[in-house]
Structure 1
Amino acid sequence: MEMQGSRHLAVSQQQAWEALNDPQVLKTCIPGCDRVEPTGENQYAIGMAVKVGPVAARFNGKIQLLDVMPPSSYTLSFEGQGGAAGFGKGTAKVNLAPPAEGSGCELSYTANAQVGGKIAQVGQRLVDGVAKSMAEDFFRRFDEEMQRRHPDAYAAAPAAAPVEAAAAATGRRMPIWAWIAFGVAVLLALLLLAAS
């Protein structure tokens, strides 16, 4: 599965980078996430509870950041295990960049993922749909958290620039924690599918 997307944020590139490198922000923004802990340099362990229909499961995963170029981009490698439910693994390239015009910053990503176990039996369309939905939910929550933390940036943003869903195709890269956050969101989506 491959996903690409971009999103305009009203906050500066540095503010977005810092938030995407804050485990508390990630924990707040990732649905079902109860743990984001550093395990080494640019390495993190995550834990989450996921429920899909009548099935509930607990998943554990690892994220590693590669090619880190603060505050502009990184590559995120992720893998997660949900026991009998299955596994998900993949990479994501994330970019944060100043916008072509105006203020704020542009966050963009390209991600590739593989799934196995029950996840792979669900069907590619369902996997794609859930992954996109999870990514959109993460970025919506992230944008809300940025509005809470930096209300002045959003007050100054043009009213006609609503937050876009993370599903529009682009080819830009994102900062390190943005990759982590995106990777976790994609991983959660894949793991949700494994639980169904």
Structure 2
Amino acid sequence: MEMHASRHIAAPRDQVWAALNDPEVLKACIPGCEELTGSPEEGFSAVVKQKVGPVKATFKGAVTLSDVVPGERYTIYGEGKGGVAGFAKGGAQVALSDHPEGGTELTYDVEAKVGGKLAQLGSRLVDSFATKMADQFFERFQNHLEGTEPTEA
């Protein structure tokens, strides 16, 4: 599964970069995240509860950052195991640039894979779920930085 998207965030690039590396901000923005510990330098550990179709699971996993160019881009890679539900793993290339109208342009390219019961649900359901999760994360992230209230989906 692959996704490519971008968002215009009405905040300076250094502020967006700081938020992308702040465990508290990330925890608040990741849908279903119950725990997120660690640092950008050493990696993060996470516990996330989610329901994908009929499969409900608690995923425990690790997230690492690589190819870091401060203020500009990084590659984030994560892998989570959800017991009998299966696993999810993938990465994203996240890049920041100045937006012509002010603020920051955040672009991301995501590639993800699932296995176990999750893979048996079918690619259409899994792709739809992954897209929804990414949209929710970046919507929450943008709202956090812009100080706006989240919109109901």
Q: TM-score, normalised by structure 1?
A: 0.71
Are the counterparts in 1 of residues 17 and 71 from structure 2 also a CA contact under 8 Å? yes
Name the structure 2 match of 1:57.
57
- Letter of the aligned partner of 1:146 in structure 2? L
CA RMSD of aligned residues (A): 1.7
Write out aligned runs for 1:148-163 (5 A): 148=147
C-alpha contact 2:55 2:117 (8 A) present in aligned 1: no
Moved segments of 4+, more than 6 Å? none
Partner of 2:109: 110
> Residues 142-181 of structure 1: matches in 2 within 5 Å?
142-148=141-147
How far does residue 143 in structure 1 lie from its aligned partner after superposition?
1.4
Cα separation, 1, equivalents of 2:52 and 2:104:
34
Q: CA 1:29/1:109 → structure 2, altered by over 3 Å: closer, same or farther?
A: same
Deviation at 1:135, TM superposition (A): 0.7
Q: Which has the higher contact order (CA 8 A, sep 6+)?
A: 1
* Residues 85, 117 of structure 2: 8 Å contact kept: yes
Higher strand share: 2
Cα contact 2:29–2:140 (8 A) shared by 1: yes
C-alpha change, 1:34 and 1:2, in structure 2 (3 Å) is same
Q: What is the number of residues matched between the two proteins?
A: 148
Deviations 1:112-157 (CA, angstroms, capped at 9, x unpaired)? 1111101111111111111111111111111111122xx7xxxxxx
CA drift at 1:55: 4.6
Q: Please identify which structure carries the higher helix content.
A: 1
Q: Which runs of 5+ in 2 are unaligned?
A: 149-153
CA gap of 1:113–1:11, structure 2 versus 1, over 3 A, is same
Give me the TM-score of the superposition, normalised by structure 2.
0.90
1:36-55 equivalences under 5 Å are 36-38=36-38, 41-52=41-52, 55=55
Q: Distance in 2 between matches of 1:73 and 1:43?
A: 16
Percent of residue pairs bearing the same amino acid type? 49
